[in-house]
Amino acid sequence: MTRLLIWRHGNTDWNAASRVQGQTDIPLNDLGREQAREAAPLLAALRPDAIVASDLSRAADTAAALAALTGLPVRSDARLRERHFGNWQGLLLTEVAAQFPDEYARWRAGDPAPGADVEPLDELGKRIGTALHEIADEMAGGTIVVATHGGAARQGCGHLLGWDHAVLRTVGPLRNCHWTELRHHPEQGWHLRAHNVGPITTPPTEPV
């Protein structure tokens, strides 16, 4: 049985402000670093065999907190980056709503390709899902922690599980420094075993 623990990064100042990050490289803030330190012992207790992280610093530095406890190296994979939010990156969500009202309304309604140069969900799911599948194949039978981003985690999991957009919209977002657990059986395929697991003190934030 192969186990993936798909871990969202800790809080950033842009998370706190509801500013769209996307693939902008925003570092963890003090809260985010503390969240990573709180979550790391919980993940270490699950005895991971490998750690892989998005190359954006908020995910890489989150992974580093676990590496410090386990002694495992962190492998970087740029495919694990967050969804690219096109013209919205760097804007507050209130600014997005004011400047791109039609596209914003489509995004809120669940349109997988709302426009404004936002990466379509099908492309995001394929990018993240392909990376997760390859990581799992390389470490078949092991436990791998994958430090990534909220939207990326949702779509990547959906890709592996074969869930469409309508199903994924019914699943709550990952909180900062929480994770989703997937397991793969050679004959039965992928199964969701747990979702939004992590330190109980972590407040919810928008996964953008």
Catalytic position from the list 9, 149, 159, 184: 9
Neighbours of 49 (CB within 10 A): 14
Q: Confirm whether 138 is a catalytic residue.
A: no
Q: How many helices (H) and strands (E) does the chain have?
A: 8, 6
CB neighbour list of residue 7: distance below 8 Å, 6 or more residues apart: 39, 43, 62, 63, 145, 146, 147, 148, 153, 177, 178, 179
How many angstroms separate the CA atoms of 176 and 140, rounded? 27
Catalytic position from the list 34, 82, 103, 181: 82
Of the candidates 142, 140, 150, the residue with the CA atom closest to the CA atom of residue 179: 150
For residue 99, which phi and psi values (nearest 5 degrees)?
-90, -25
Q: Confirm whether 82 is a catalytic residue.
A: yes
Residue type at position 90: G
- Which positions are catalytic? 9, 82
